[in-house]
Structure 1
Amino acid sequence: MKKFFKIAGISLLILMVLLGGALGLFVYKVKNGFPVSYETDPPELTIPSEGRNVLLFSKTTGFRHEESILAGIAKFEELATKEGWFLYQTESAGIFNVEQLGRFDAVIFNNSTGRVLTDEQRIILKEYVESGGKLIGIHGAGDDSHHWDWYEQSLLGAKFSHHPLNPQLQEAEVKLDEGAEAALAEGLENNWEHTDEWYIFFENPRVKGFDILYTINGDEIIPDGNLLWMKDKNWGMGEDHPVAWSKRIGEGKTFYTSMGHHAEVWEQEPFIEMLINAVNWE
């Protein structure tokens, strides 16, 4: 009997170590992404010289929102046909070269997480935006796995802290901001009910000079993101909780929405109309 309890105790200890290691690896991946090889070879691609060209980039090295990514690809393919866009969707970073990237009107990070570009490709994207390009980020594109100061300052204007865990998905009223940029707000719903994983940031991008498009009342959600040893995540952004915002960067533009966690959001018409406006934004 003693031998049985000894074996059981050792087995339990091993199981706890394995579970702890798996959780540690998961947390590391979410916050930093796992190292991967970086694609640098330009794709063989004919990009139209006229019309609106859109690059949809869905590469991840951090947490992967698989269902939302796939739903987003399908929806943007549908929108490209409807809106008359040329859409190139890829997870290969080889497209981030000066010649080809400069042919696109908008680059969309479709729940792209982690370090996905080389240092040289980051410089190319930065210069693309500052010289007149447009960078659009969706949900996971705003988490804290990117570790890129320019990206955080120019696309997000805030550093990601956490998201609610219990419950993870919550319904809230999304409200059009009174100071929203007119071209982005044109034709959009003033108020709509939306269920999502509401990202919580340490700063409000409004105070960093970003134009807010949509907000929720952060006092009306349960913001608790505490988990195991993380005990400092039971706070929210308050009544003024932006969920979509934009900024003019040099001659270019950035747009980000923290909405877009799960596949169902891609069936919400107000969410889709917001993204159409972002792509068509002049």
Structure 2
Amino acid sequence: MHRRQAIHRMSAAGLGLMLDPALNLLGKNSPRRRILFFTKSSGYEHSSIKRNGNELSHAERILTELGTRHGFDVRATKDGSVFTPENLKGYDAFFFYTTGDLTQAGTDKNPPMSNEGKTAFLEGIHSGKGFLGTHSASDTFHSVGDAFQTQALDARDPYMQMLGGEFIRHGAQQEANMKLTSAHFPGCEKIKESFRLKDEWYSLKNFSSDLHVILVQDTKGMQGSDYQRPDYPATWARHHGKGRVFYTSMGHREDVWTNPTFQSVLVGAIAWATGNVNVKTPPNLKTVTPQAETIPPKPAKE
């Protein structure tokens, strides 16, 4: 066995131990789903998805290994030209860890998505495919307008209308409290009422009124002006036409990707988004985060 192969297998085995051995959210008789993991950076490129040559990035490798363990296939790519109507037929869900306007080559210079590809991708979700986004998926295809103001639903980018929330800014990395508001959502069953995690936390806006909020950003005690606001959604699920959409702001730090709670939430979300698990996801935005749209004022130039 080559050394690289041995390291890869050891890594996969190690990651497997991080999840509860009883966690089998995709089910023995469930269809094996195909996930397109898109990690193009037209804006800022995060270290978790930065590749070294042709080797998969940290996040790409972990999601692929989780798929091997839990029964779904992952194709990781930074090539936006794969978004054609014909190619998209081969996938059950799309998973984005992206930044910027993906129809532009941008920072990483990888081929961009065409405007037609963006339309086909969004139509695919509306017609029943799943979507999952981590962290900077909300820092992608921004709506036109002031970042520190909310936009009316019809003024938001179609991608943001699908996602259900939009990035404003972030402060310094810090440990913060995540409050669980949907204990029945797949992958969350063993999470207690809350947990603490160090990450780069996004301040968000433009929330869809139909969000099923899973985790709430507890802003009490957080450092920085971006978090001087009432609690707001950090992880949610919603329906977009016939499609199922999931987003979490977690995932900036590489050690978050090896965190067992984060992995459990991801695997559960994939099971739900691809239709292998069915749970009720009623809107609860106004109940669990009634002041979510109260956002911090635009800061003075720093």
User: TM-score normalized by structure 2?
Assistant: 0.66
Structure-to-structure mapping, 1:104-119, within 5 angstroms: 104-110=91-97, 112-116=98-102, 117-119=113-115
The alpha carbon displacement at 1:256 in A equals 0.8
Structure-to-structure mapping, 1:232-247, within 5 angstroms: 234=226, 236-238=228-230, 240-247=231-238
Report how many residues are paired.
214
SS at structure 1 position matched to 2:41:
coil
Give the corresponding residue for 1:171. Answer: 175
Cα deviation per residue 1:85-130 (whole Å; 9 max; x = unaligned)?
12111111222111221221111002x0112122101110111000
RMSD over equivalenced CA pairs, Å = 2.0
Alignment of 1:149 with 2:151, yes or no, is no
SS at structure 1 position matched to 2:247:
strand
Give the corresponding residue for 2:186. Answer: 184
Structure-to-structure mapping, 1:1-282, within 5 angstroms: 51-68=32-49, 70-110=57-97, 112-116=98-102, 117-143=113-139, 146-147=142-143, 149-155=157-163, 157-164=164-171, 168-177=172-181, 180=182, 182-184=184-186, 186-190=188-192, 191-203=194-206, 205=207, 208-224=209-225, 234=226, 236-238=228-230, 240-281=231-272, 282=275
Alignment-mate amino acid for residue 217 of structure 1: D
| 8 Å CA contact retained: 1:200, 1:237 | no
The alpha carbon displacement at 1:68 in A equals 4.8
Give the corresponding residue for 2:24. Answer: none
| 8 Å CA contact retained: 1:212, 1:244 | yes
Cα deviation per residue 1:245-274 (whole Å; 9 max; x = unaligned)?
111011001111111111111111111111
Alignment partners' CA distance in 1, 2:40 and 2:73: 20
The alpha carbon displacement at 1:185 in A equals 5.3
| 8 Å CA contact retained: 1:152, 1:158 | yes
SS at structure 2 position matched to 1:276:
helix
Cα deviation per residue 1:36-58 (whole Å; 9 max; x = unaligned)?
xxxxxxxxxxxxxx621111110
| 8 Å CA contact retained: 2:168, 2:204 | yes
Q: Which has the larger radius of gyration?
A: 1
| 8 Å CA contact retained: 1:246, 1:253 | yes
The alpha carbon displacement at 1:181 in A equals 7.9
Pair 1:96–1:56, CA change in 2 (3 A): same
The alpha carbon displacement at 1:176 in A equals 1.1
| 8 Å CA contact retained: 2:236, 2:247 | yes
Cα deviation per residue 1:211-246 (whole Å; 9 max; x = unaligned)?
10111211221132xxxxxxxxx55331x2221011
- Structure 2 unpaired stretches of 5+: 1-30, 51-56, 103-112, 144-155, 276-302
Cα deviation per residue 1:143-166 (whole Å; 9 max; x = unaligned)?
2654471111220x33322111xx
Higher helix share: 1
Taking every aligned residue pair, what percent have the same amino acid on both sides?
29
Pair 1:127–1:215, CA change in 2 (3 A): same
Alignment-mate amino acid for residue 91 of structure 1: K
Give the corresponding residue for 1:25. Answer: none
- Structure 1 unpaired stretches of 5+: 1-49, 225-233
Pair 1:144–1:84, CA change in 2 (3 A): closer
The alpha carbon displacement at 1:188 in A equals 4.2
Alignment partners' CA distance in 2, 1:186 and 1:134: 19
Give the corresponding residue for 2:146. Answer: none
| 8 Å CA contact retained: 1:215, 1:242 | yes
Alignment partners' CA distance in 2, 1:181 and 1:102: 33
Alignment partners' CA distance in 2, 1:99 and 1:60: 24
User: TM-score normalized by structure 1?
Assistant: 0.70
| 8 Å CA contact retained: 1:52, 1:86 | yes
